[in-house]
Amino acid sequence: MIKRKILGQHFLHSSGIAQSIVLQAKITKNDTVFELGTGLGILTPLLTLHAKKVISIEADGELYEKAKSKFSSIGNLFLKCGDGFQNTDDFSIFVSNLPYSKSKEAIEWLAQTHFSHGVIMVQKEFAEKLVTKSAKDRRAVSIIANHTLDIEKILDVKKSNFSPPPNVDSVVLKITKKTSIDKNTINILNKIFSYRRKTIHNIFKQFGKETVIEKRLDDLTGDEIINLAKEILSN
C-alpha cells in the first residue's frame, strides 16, 4: 500500500464512467490501444472488446500478477509490468486513469510520442492548468500540452468514484495529437518557466544567449514561447 501511495494510485470503481471513457476513445478493430496503468482492470476488458490489440502496462508487480491471472483468457490483451514511459510499441489510441504523481511526465511523454488520439483522466487542478486561458496561470506543461495536443474536457468525475478516494475531483479529457516536440525542447521549456519572473532578455542570459526582447513570458503566446525554446537550442 505504501508503494501505491507513492505512485498516487486511486482506483476508479464506477463502471459507468469506465464505459464513458472507452466510448469517448472511439476505438475500432483497426486500433492498437495503449493503456498506461492496468490498476484493478476496470478499463482493460472493455478496451479489448473494441480494439484489434490492447497493450496494458502496470508498474505495480502485485497488480500486474492479479491482472495476468484475471484476464488470462483475453487473446488480444498484452499485459506488461514496468515503466509505461519506456514503451516502444506502436499504438494509435492512448487511454489512462493517470496516477496524479505521473500526470506531468505523461503529458511530456505524449508530446514526444506518435499516436492518433486518446482519453485521459487527471486531477481537476491539473486539467485546469492544461486548458487555462490565463497567461499567469500557465506552466511549462500547459505550453507543451497545447502545442502538441488538442484538448477537450469530456466529463467531471467526483472523488467518491475512486478507492481510496483522493482529496480532489478528477476530469476526463479527450486528447488529439497535433504535432510532436523533442525531449531537449521540453527540458528547455521547463527551465524557461523556472525563470518566469525575468524578462526574456535575462532568461536568454541564463543560457548564454542574447536577445533584445524585453517582454516577459506572460506577454507571449504559447507558440512564441515554443519558438524561444527552439532559438535557445539553436547554435
Pairwise CA distance, residues 225 & 218, whole Å? 10
Residue type, 47: L
Peptide bond into 45 cis (omega under 30): no
Confidence at residue 235, expressed as pLDDT on a 0 to 100 scale: 66
Nearest in space to 111 (alpha carbons), one of 137, 80, 150: 150
Each domain of the chain, given as residue ranges in start order, spans 2-181, 185-233
Q: Quick one: pLDDT at residue 100?
A: 81
List Cβ neighbours of 63 (8 Å cut-off, separation of 6 or more).
Answer: 38, 39, 40
pLDDT in the model for residue 231: 95
What is the biggest distance separating any 2 CA atoms in the chain, rounded to whole angstroms?
A: 63
The CATH number corresponding to 2-181 among 3.40.50.1370, 3.40.50.300, 3.40.50.1000, 3.40.50.150 equals: 3.40.50.150
| CA atoms lying within 13 Å on the CB side of residue 157 | 31
Q: Is residue 3's pLDDT more than 50?
A: no
Confidence band of 8 (pLDDT split at 50, 70, 90): low
Nearest-angstrom CA–CA distance, 151 and 173: 7
Closest CA to 134 of 121, 146, 152, 148: 146
Beta bridge partners of 176: 117, 150
Say what the pTM is.
0.93
* pLDDT tens string 13-65: 999 999 999 999 999 999 999 999 999 999 999 999 999 999 999 999 999 99
pLDDT number for residue 4: 45
Q: What is the pLDDT of residue 2?
A: 36
pLDDT digits (tens, 9 = 90+) for 78-127: 999 999 999 999 999 999 998 888 999 999 999 999 999 999 999 999 99
